[in-house]
Structure 1
Amino acid sequence: MSIIVALTAQNTYGVQDSLAIPSAFIEEQFDSLAADFTIGAAKTGMLADVERVETVVKKLKQVDFGPLIVDPVMVAKGGHHLLQTEAVQTINQKLLPLATVVTPNLPEAEVIIGERIVTDQEMITAAKKLQALGTKNVIVKGGHSHNSNAADFVLLADGEAFWMSTPRVETANTHGTGDTFSACIAAELAKGTDLKKAIIIGKQFIQAAISQPIYVGHGHGPTNHWAEVADDVSIT
């Protein structure tokens, strides 16, 4: 089930334009789903601007959609901004405290905490600062790093911390990696999977979805949601 917050005109080359949905209609979508379904988990994606973030926060406080995964989508692969700069503070102050897990990539984490992140230690520090904003569990994704492996740092609410590492895959078919990863975690939590295991399964799934490509379009093709998942994630 989806609550559409913004529409995009996009293809594998990128996002050409976007259109925010009226807040009143977003509220109607929330009410419609809440009136009919028991929802086990939810995730956020593109939230567009301050008004839309505030609307989503307002409705999330009124409904019970289970654990919330916040994927702080900010910029599309082609460079189109999917979140107004002014909305970052609103996300920090109002949305992150509602999140069970937040899943920023390195550029997104840099925007949220206002600091450059290059080294492993800086990723650890960033996770702690994100947790201080109110999110119980944090995953700082390292896909944008220049390391030979794609390593994500996980900091859980109880203080447990670990790295998830997979071999880097040379491919252009990475459209939707963040969405796929966070959606998989949400799906696992909805099924009742333990949080740590759900996060590891999410990493396994996105690694498979990237490394077993499907070829669609002429730009950044999508991740493969039909990929065969293997146990190839190193946990340290």
Structure 2
Amino acid sequence: MPTTDQYDVHAPALALTIAGSEATGGAGAQADLKTFQELGAFGMVALTCIVSFDPQDDWNHRFVPVDQDVIAHQLEAIQANYAGQLRTTKLGMMGSPSTIATVATALRSQDWDHVVLDPVLICKGQEPGHALDTDEALKAELLPLATFTTPNHFESEQLAGMAIETVEDLQEAARRIHEASGAAVLAKGGVRIAGPDAVDVYYDGETLEVLSTPKIGEHAVSGAGCSLAAAVTAELAKGATPLEAARRAKEFVTEGIRQRVAGNTPFDALWQGGLRRP
């Protein structure tokens, strides 16, 4: 049998996403894995739920949770296989308080250098009461474990407890979210804030930086938030500082939006290969 030293052994950075499946490929775990690969990280996934757009109902979400034992088994296998090596993870769509509890238990079973939380607070396939319970569980159990969080405009308003209409509002929201969580924050204004630029705000308790690029259209693109958090995760796994990771992720998403993918949905999808050069 060949020995290890007979191979050209490469040890890429490892990155885990704990997220939902989105079958059309624009968002969710599919977007995360493509982002990891594009940025040179070895990706793995534990699926929490399956979301399918419904073409018969204005492309709204159909939401199916993954059984809790199945989630726990996925994480057990991943963490056992890469024990001592896997130290960076991204958290996406959870979907229920029970899933949040299962994931939080798995996270607490080992030490992490980086836990990147994309705080998905609303899923259109859920009943309002269930969605609220999920939101509260996320804030109570996952936000305290996060080292970096990437809330969108709506999520920033909810986590900061304030309306966000200006860049100054977004800066204040980032400060409040950091104070509440201790995590580095990349609060996303995107196209939701008036003006010619898509603006995000980074704040880690010391450094505040406004990341701004000209808007590419006036409509949100599916997968932008997932891919931004996944890009941050990949860069952190490779050794970037949180601010460096935020800057690189902004560039990654901007180029992915510029080269978006159109289908029959009323929204386009980000292409994770946007940084490639011809």
Which TM-score tier does this pair reach, normalised by the shorter chain? 0.7 to 0.9
User: Gaps (5+ residues) in structure 1?
Assistant: 231-236
Report the TM-score, using the length of structure 2 for normalisation: 0.75
The CA distance in 2 between the partners of 1:149 and 1:214, in whole Å, is 21
Q: CA distance change for structure 1 residues 25 and 5 in 2, over 3 Å: closer, same or farther? A: same
Query: Which amino acid in 2 is paired with 1:28?
Result: H
Tell me how far 1:81 sits from its aligned partner: 5.0
Tell me how far 1:173 sits from its aligned partner: 7.4
Q: Residue 147 of structure 2 contacts residue 184 of structure 2 at CA under 8 Å; is this kept in 1?
A: yes
Report the TM-score, using the length of structure 1 for normalisation: 0.87
Q: Per the alignment, in what secondary structure is the counterpart of residue 45 of structure 2?
A: coil
The CA distance in 2 between the partners of 1:108 and 1:172, in whole Å, is 18
Q: CA distance change for structure 1 residues 171 and 115 in 2, over 3 Å: closer, same or farther? A: closer
Query: Which amino acid in 2 is paired with 1:25?
Result: V
Query: Which amino acid in 2 is paired with 1:51?
Result: S
The CA distance in 2 between the partners of 1:94 and 1:66, in whole Å, is 18
The CA distance in 2 between the partners of 1:168 and 1:211, in whole Å, is 9
Per-residue CA deviations over 1:196-223 (Å, capped at 9, x if unaligned) read 1111000000000001223333432210
Q: CA distance change for structure 1 residues 173 and 121 in 2, over 3 Å: closer, same or farther? A: closer
Tell me how far 1:64 sits from its aligned partner: 3.9
Tell me how far 1:229 sits from its aligned partner: 6.2
In the other structure, the counterpart of 1:155 is 203
Tell me how far 1:33 sits from its aligned partner: 0.2
Are residues 1:72 and 2:115 paired? no
Larger displacement relative to structure 2 (129-138 or 209-218): 209-218
User: Gaps (5+ residues) in structure 2?
Assistant: 1-43
Q: CA distance change for structure 1 residues 18 and 62 in 2, over 3 Å: closer, same or farther? A: same
Are residues 1:44 and 2:44 paired? no
Q: Residue 228 of structure 2 contacts residue 249 of structure 2 at CA under 8 Å; is this kept in 1?
A: yes
Question: Across the two proteins, how many residue pairs are aligned to each other?
Answer: 227
Are residues 1:146 and 2:194 paired? yes
Q: CA RMSD in A?
A: 2.3
The CA distance in 2 between the partners of 1:16 and 1:181, in whole Å, is 21
Q: Per the alignment, in what secondary structure is the counterpart of residue 138 of structure 1?
A: strand
Per-residue CA deviations over 1:47-105 (Å, capped at 9, x if unaligned) read 112111121111111134541110011346xx555971112222222211111111001
Q: Residue 96 of structure 1 contacts residue 135 of structure 1 at CA under 8 Å; is this kept in 2?
A: no
Q: Per the alignment, in what secondary structure is the counterpart of residue 116 of structure 2?
A: strand
In the other structure, the counterpart of 2:65 is 20
Q: CA distance change for structure 1 residues 123 and 218 in 2, over 3 Å: closer, same or farther? A: closer
Q: CA distance change for structure 1 residues 207 and 226 in 2, over 3 Å: closer, same or farther? A: same
Which of 96, 99, 102 aligns to 2:146? It is: 99
Per-residue CA deviations over 1:5-64 (Å, capped at 9, x if unaligned) read 111112786443101112222111110101112324211111112111121111111134
Q: Residue 63 of structure 2 contacts residue 126 of structure 2 at CA under 8 Å; is this kept in 1?
A: no
Percent same amino acid at aligned positions?
23
In the other structure, the counterpart of 2:51 is 8
Query: Which amino acid in 1 is paired with 2:48?
Result: V
The CA distance in 1 between the partners of 2:101 and 2:223, in whole Å, is 25
Q: CA distance change for structure 1 residues 59 and 217 in 2, over 3 Å: closer, same or farther? A: same
Query: Which amino acid in 2 is paired with 1:153?
Result: V
Asked which structure has the greater CA Rg, the reply is: 2
Q: Residue 166 of structure 2 contacts residue 194 of structure 2 at CA under 8 Å; is this kept in 1?
A: no
